[in-house]
Amino acid sequence: MSAVFKPDETFRGDFTYRNSPEAIRRFPLPFPEDAYMYSVNIEPHLPGPAGSVTEFAFDVDEHYVAECRERALVLAAEPLRYQALPHMMSSQWDCLELIMESLARDYPAHFSLAKRGNRWHWINRPLQIDQQFTFGDTASLPREPLEYITRQAQGDFVVMDQREGDLWTEAGMVTTQADWSLDFDMGMTFKEWHGPVPLAHELQVFDRALKFLLNLRLGQPVRRLNWTMTINPRLDTSPENYPFWGTDRATVTADNAGERVHLRVELQGLWRLPRSNAIVFGIRCYLISLRELVTVPKWARRVHRVLRDLHPALVDYKGLTRYRDAAVAWLAPYDDGSPTTPGTSPE
């Protein structure tokens, strides 16, 4: 999609982030039916319809420039939001190559990549970056390769090393997260990392997901959607900054929920990396206010029902306890009880 960037949007302070009508219609609703429970909802990350968020490997939308600036603000205050252990350097170059090649191929108007052997020339026009460097030579870039390229990408990235029949969280850039911390989770195994998730362990979701991911193949990436809710369009809901956003949840009423409460959807992609045999886990965050959401009548009915009937353990885990009732009350007038069509399309 040839989005018009909105470079001045903010995700903090005055919260000027908004979705255009086009961005609303392509929003990745994570509810194919009127009720929600966990599943291993992994599917091949194949190109979706033109204009959809899955058309390309990495979606670049109207919020691109503003999100990159927000990431820089977070990193300036807390540099440890980016970390990589020393043995992850080959996976860093793998990630840089994957992201640069994808963006240059899919958005030639915005990005270009020229290679002469190991001499690479990268141009990022929206961010006005023109960089020549030697692939594999860390000293030829202003920052480590993973930090360098993920400062120019939307969404968080976690790189997992594969050894001992497990996946280890050992590098990442995490500034747009739903209340989890890379600094806390560094070095953890797959199941340690997902330890706090309720119900899913009993359903053996992580046993099956780990087994699946250990066999993830080169050239066959996969994706899934996950979701939660966030008060205000705040990308950085980190445990580190809980004092700045935790209290927002007490400000929601049935009157202001339409503007305050946002559905937060993560488009999660997983790629096997070639040189390192590691896996990169991309977590791309999309935010939409309830007010924007109800401009699509089917989605208004769908989200009202999902939220109203959500399992209590998930209400707690997703941090919705304080304001779920207010959000359901705000949505109720938009649900006339008529059936919804299956699937997530707006019609």
Looking up tokens 């929601």, which residue turns up?
252
Q: Does 236 bind another protein (CB under 8 A)?
A: no
Among 32, 48, 274, 346, binds another protein (CB under 8 A): 274
Among 53, 68, 88, 158, binds another protein (CB under 8 A): 88
- b/e per residue, 250-263, with b = 16+ CB within 10 A? eebeeeebbbbbbb
Q: Does 94 bind another protein (CB under 8 A)?
A: yes
Q: Quick one: tokens of 258?
A: 């339409």
Q: Quick one: tokens of 334?
A: 């938009």
Instruction: Identify the DSSP state of 294.
Output: T
Type of residue numbered 160? M
Smallest gap from Cβ 145 to another protein, in A, equals 15
For every residue of 147-175, DSSP letters joined together read HHHHTTSSSEEEEEEEETTEEEEEEEE-S
Q: Does 105 bind another protein (CB under 8 A)?
A: no
Torsion of CA 229, 2, 283, 236, to 10 degrees: -50
Among 277, 291, 325, 344, binds another protein (CB under 8 A): 277
Catalytic residue among 224, 249, 291, 322: 224
The whole-angstrom separation of Cα 39 and Cα 77 is: 37
Q: Quick one: tokens of 31?
A: 């509810």
Under rule CB under 8 A, how many of the chain's residues touch another protein?
18
Smallest gap from Cβ 162 to another protein, in A, equals 7
**Of 101 and 240, which CB lies nearer to another protein in the complex structure?**
101
**Of 121 and 125, which CB lies nearer to another protein in the complex structure?**
121
Q: Does 208 bind another protein (CB under 8 A)?
A: no
Stretch that binds another protein, among 155-163, 174-182, 262-270, 311-319 (CB under 8 A): 155-163
**Of 87 and 311, which CB lies nearer to another protein in the complex structure?**
87
Contacts (CB under 8 A) with another protein, residues 160-179? 161-164
> How far lies 220's CA from each of 44, 105, 217, in Å?
7, 17, 5
- b/e per residue, 153-174, with b = 16+ CB within 10 A? bbbbbbbbbbeeebbbbbbbbb
The whole-angstrom separation of Cα 228 and Cα 79 is: 26
**Of 204 and 253, which CB lies nearer to another protein in the complex structure?**
204
Residues in the chain: 347
**Of 161 and 236, which CB lies nearer to another protein in the complex structure?**
161
Q: Quick one: tokens of 12?
A: 């903090």
Q: Does 276 bind another protein (CB under 8 A)?
A: yes
Catalytic site includes residue 217: no
Q: Does 218 bind another protein (CB under 8 A)?
A: yes
Q: Does 215 bind another protein (CB under 8 A)?
A: yes
Smallest gap from Cβ 98 to another protein, in A, equals 10
Q: Quick one: tokens of 4?
A: 């018009």
The whole-angstrom separation of Cα 187 and Cα 85 is: 9
Q: Does 220 bind another protein (CB under 8 A)?
A: yes
**Of 80 and 218, which CB lies nearer to another protein in the complex structure?**
218
Stretch that binds another protein, among 24-32, 58-66, 156-164, 326-334 (CB under 8 A): 156-164
Query: C-alpha 9: how far from its chain's center?
Result: 18
The pair phi, psi for residue 208, each rounded to 5°, is -70, -40
**Active-site residue list:** 224
Contact residues toward another protein (CB under 8 A) are 87-88, 90, 94, 97, 161-164, 215, 217-220, 274-277
